[in-house]
Amino acid sequence: MRQNSIELRTLWFMGAKTRLCSEFIDGAVSDLLEPGGTILDLCTGTAAVGRFLSTRYRILANDVQNFSSVVASAHLEGDDAWFSAIEYLDPREDLGRAFESNLRLVTRLAPEALTTEDSLLDQVERELGVSDGPQTGAADRYRQFVAATPLPQVEPGGSPLFQPLTSAMPGLISQRRRDPTIEPAVLMTCYYTNVYLGLRQAMVIDSLRHAIAQIPETDPFARRKRTFYLAALLHAVSVSTSGTSHFAQPRSLEKDSELLAVVRRRRIDVEEGFYLALDAIRRELGESPRLGGNRVFGLPLDDLLAEGGPLADEKVDLVYLDPPYTADNYSRFYHLLETLVDYDYPELELRGGELTRGRYSLREHRFRSDFCKAGEVEGAFNRVAADCRRLGARLLISYSTDAGLMTKRWSRAGEEKPASRFRDMMRQYYPQVEFREKNLMHSGQGDSNRSVRELLILCEG
């Protein structure tokens, strides 16, 4: 794949694996499998690895998060008819009318707040964005504006500035919990305004999401178009969020520097970002044609690999397993993206009767991975290895020697060579197991510029 193509981020937070693809992971894959073979990217995430390999291998991709499987599907799946149709796709024709109609209705819910937001975002940028900017108190007025945002609760409450949304909120949400297709679509507006998104941004996202759902079943490419447009919308949302790179917590507005960063994100035009993302995906598919026959699944991996499961008729040559390293579940960190895809107005989690700062959906609706549980992670690796062996597939595992939940536990318990122990564990299933390590600078939140050892375990024979 061309370098400029792989640099396209499917989602903004895509990172480490892209940097590791070109030599480290690609080298191991080439040592395990001839081009033309079938690779199962079992925890595909942002689909970075599957995409990278897709010009030389057939790719099956899977992830339990729906937003990940949407992204993977847009980048990997499709037949010749679809790839020809993409060139002539007219998103404005497909989406324009339903988008405008929803936007007209949703903006009527908070006209004064929208005007105030537009003006305050400009004023804050002028006040804090340049040295010696005019000190008009805009930063504090914006803080007050954010504090006045109505909460997504069934009890009415909030400021008159957001009328009629403030009074209508309880009814809007309870109606749509019964029928999520009602126009105007308002989920992002009600749940995440001034938390992870600006008001106008949330309304535009709701309107695009609504328009995508409205593509008629009679359209021969209805399903593919919905997936393609939704992947572009996920990208646009992931680059516009005023959170950091994830949705575990919104940013605090206390410090002026944080406030300015948030305001700059809220000035991003999501609609423009959506069309740019569409063009980028379309260009990549044109420049780097896929081998064909790719399939995407959206299942817990134990279900996917189960005997008689969806892979029963597939010949899988190599499984690439890149599970979560830490106790942080992706379902919590990226809950907003999952809610955007599901678009079902979920009940939100309460603590002590109050909404959480992160506005998570109820815990029982969020998937909790065994790879994120200290007591389960070893068992999870053992099950995958046994399943892959039974499928007759080689196995390539990505993990972190230093930051991995399992390897870190072993180190803490006195194990001096966690990578060797991991290799020995896999030898119960495969006769030939090798490990490779590489130092990588981590630039994630809180652990900037820390060097960690990335680990690959190659299992075959």
Ligand X SMILES: C[S@@+](CC[C@H](N)C(=O)[O-])C[C@H]1O[C@@H](n2cnc3c(N)ncnc32)[C@H](O)[C@@H]1O
Which residues form the interface with ligand X (CB under 6 A)? Answer: 14, 17, 43-46, 48-49, 63-65, 68, 300-301, 322-324, 330, 369, 371
User: Shortest approach of ligand X to residue 381 CB, angstroms?
Assistant: 11
Min CB(10)–ligand X separation in Å: 8
Neighbouring C-beta atoms of residue 79, cutoff 10 Å: 11
CB of 395 to ligand X, least distance (A): 15
Q: Which is nearer to ligand X, 13 or 162 (CB)?
A: 13
CB of 356 to ligand X, least distance (A): 20
Closest CB to ligand X among 24 and 99? Answer: 24
Complex with ligand X: residue 49 or 341, whichever CB lies closer: 49
Burial of 51 (0-12, 13-18, 19+ CB in 10 A): buried
Minimum distance of ligand X from residue 53's CB (angstroms) = 11
**Contact in structure between 191 and 149 (CB atoms under 8 Å):** no
Q: Compare residues 45 and 250 and give the one whose CB is closer to ligand X.
A: 45
d(CA 35, CA 290): 13
CA neighbours within 13 Å on the CB side: how many for 123? 15
Cβ proximity to ligand X: between 166 and 369 the closer is 369
* AA letter at 233: L
Angle value at C-alpha 413, between 407 and 414, nearest 5 degrees = 95
Q: How far apart are CA 239 and CA 65, in angstroms?
A: 19
204 touches 230 (CB < 8 A) = no
Instruction: Locate 171 and state its tokens.
Output: 């009814």
Lookup: tokens for 83: 């790839």
CA distance 422 to 452: 17
The identity of residue 430, as a single letter, is: Y
Q: Least distance to ligand X from the beta carbon of 455, Å?
A: 13
- Which is nearer to ligand X, 16 or 138 (by Cβ)? 16
